[in-house]
Structure 1
Amino acid sequence: MNRREAGLILLGAMSAQAAPGGFKKLFNGKDLTGWTLVKGHGVGYVVEKGVLVCPENGGGNLFTEKEYSDFVLQLEWRLWDGGNNGVGIRAPLEGDAAYVGMEIQILDDESEKYKKGAGLKPTQYTGSVYDVFPAKRGSVLRDGVWNKYQIEAKGRRVKVTLNGNVVSDVNLDDAKDEAVLKKHPGLARKSGHIGFLGHGTRVEFRNIRIKEL
């Protein structure tokens, strides 16, 4: 192999990780390169036909090996009745990412499963900064239809756009309740891993890419 051929191979590999607008792919569609499974359940996460899958008999926390501070994260996800997952941001590898980091909720919140008893709290709906800031409702596409997520974390601001609708746009400093701050030390973190937080229901992900700010 000459230098030109080697250079073309390297350029092709770099292009495979590139995406328009300064974004870089976090998931190559083939395997879990660049990711690490923490506290996995069952089979953990698998790749099926270019899609990252949290199966019913799997789950746990699947984190990027790299840490990120300020970024725009784009991805697509879909779920079925009762589906439950989340996007961890600025999270450490150890501990419950929803508290020691932050979790942007992904939930089939219109499912009858979640209407039993007292039902969901406002901070449990899709797009919420879980257990801290509620999201606007009504943008989730159900029953295996792909949803488009954009999560922007810049300094103390976190903005979540779901299917073109801004469902959360918050200043983390607006969380002033001492009990909430004690329960969620992750609100103070400036950087950490990005991850998927599976709960034993099938949720699929694709087109996962990031732009660091």
Structure 2
Amino acid sequence: MDAMKILIVAAMLLAAQDQPGPRPEDTEVWKPEPPVVTPGAYAPTPPPSDAIVLFDGRDLSQWASVKDGLSARWVLKGGVVTVAKGSGNIQTRRSFGSYQLHIEWRIPVGITGEGQKRGNSGVFLASTGDGDAGYELQILDSYRNRTYVNGQAGSIYKQFAPLANPMRPPGEWQSYDIAWTAPIFDAAGRVTRPAMVTAMLNGVLVQNHTVLKGPTQYIGQPSYKPHGPAPIKLQDHGDPSAPISFRNIWVRELE
């Protein structure tokens, strides 16, 4: 290779190194902001007769640590379970296909911070691996707290903003009612039916039969990888100043 070609190749390599890689900010969407809606008064939603009760305030026997598969090590007190510092995500011991899910969650009073650093957690509707692998319905304090709209409460994280923002203030219980349609893959791993989500936040529709692009992807675009029935996962986002609490979790299998 002559000197000129060497210089050209070197210049091309330097140019490639200077190209920025994908960033988390690339998939943030900030507008339009969903309208703020004041939800109705909280009303208890007890499990129906055919529900599988995942948490009734008494024990965490239905849950396991994602880190090691051992018992969930979150804090159980007064009929409520709260994320414990450094404990990691927990997920159901059972795996599910399509289902109806009810779950209640609470941001602590006196929370500080802003944006994504304000009560961050998530419900992974199908946990497809370690850590934060899966399809995330975001949990966040979105009460008078601006962030990217596909990252606020009620969003399919980094994919779809909610249709409305019906958050109650910190300290009050929030509720999700979710219909999850699990994806189906053929023998070659191709998607024959994508995942779909309908979700209500505090009784207000925030996702209406939303067709997902794949599992949650923090950086870059989502894409499907074949999987079967999967656990439901709750996220420990690692924010010790804002431990999220949960109660009244039940599921009805649909297929």
Which range, TM-score by smaller chain?
0.7 to 0.9
Cα drift, residue 59 of structure 1? 4.7
Partner residue of 1:89 out of 119, 125, 134 = 125
Q: 2:55 corresponds to which letter in structure 1?
A: F
CA contact (8 A) 2:56 2:247 kept: no
- Give the structure-2-normalised TM-score: 0.63
Cα deviations across residues 59-89 of structure 1 (Å, max 9, x unaligned)?
5211001111100000111103321111011
Cα drift, residue 25 of structure 1? 0.5
Q: Which runs of 4+ in 1 moved over 6 A?
A: 179-182
Could you say if the C-alpha distance between residues 107 and 188 of structure 1 is closer, same or farther in structure 2, counting changes exceeding 3 Å?
farther
Structure 2 counterparts to residues 158-177 of structure 1, below 5 A: 158-172=197-211, 175=213
Does residue 75 (structure 1) correspond to residue 103 (structure 2)? The answer is: yes
- Larger Rg computed on CA atoms: 2
Which structure is higher in helix share? Answer: 1
Cα drift, residue 136 of structure 1? 2.4
Give the whole-Å Cα distance in 2 for the aligned partners of 1:60 and 1:95: 8
Give the whole-Å Cα distance in 2 for the aligned partners of 1:160 and 1:72: 10
Give the whole-Å Cα distance in 2 for the aligned partners of 1:167 and 1:189: 26
Cα drift, residue 170 of structure 1? 3.7
Q: Which residue of 2 aligns with 1:198?
A: 236
Q: Which residue of 2 aligns with 1:24?
A: 52
Aligned Cα RMSD in Å?
A: 2.8
CA contact (8 A) 2:200 2:207 kept: yes
Does residue 184 (structure 1) correspond to residue 222 (structure 2)? The answer is: yes
Q: Which runs of 5+ in 2 are unaligned?
A: 1-45, 112-117, 183-194
Give the whole-Å Cα distance in 2 for the aligned partners of 1:62 and 1:198: 8
Could you say if the C-alpha distance between residues 107 and 182 of structure 1 is closer, same or farther in structure 2, counting changes exceeding 3 Å?
closer
CA contact (8 A) 2:180 2:198 kept: yes
CA contact (8 A) 1:89 1:103 kept: yes
Cα drift, residue 28 of structure 1? 3.9
Partner residue of 1:45 out of 59, 74, 80 = 74
Cα drift, residue 202 of structure 1? 1.1
Q: Residue 150 of structure 2 aligns to a residue in which SS?
A: helix
Cα drift, residue 180 of structure 1? 9.4
Q: Residue 66 of structure 1 aligns to a residue in which SS?
A: coil
Q: 2:250 corresponds to which letter in structure 1?
A: R
Does residue 144 (structure 1) correspond to residue 193 (structure 2)? The answer is: no
Cα deviations across residues 88-114 of structure 1 (Å, max 9, x unaligned)?
1111242422xxx101001002355xx
Partner residue of 1:110 out of 143, 147, 167 = 143
Does residue 124 (structure 1) correspond to residue 176 (structure 2)? The answer is: no
Q: Which runs of 5+ in 1 are unaligned?
A: 1-17
Cα deviations across residues 103-155 of structure 1 (Å, max 9, x unaligned)?
1001002355xx4xxxx222101111111111123211122101111111124
- Give the structure-1-normalised TM-score: 0.74
CA contact (8 A) 1:125 1:137 kept: no
CA contact (8 A) 2:196 2:209 kept: yes
Which structure is higher in strand share? Answer: 1
Give the whole-Å Cα distance in 2 for the aligned partners of 1:170 and 1:132: 14
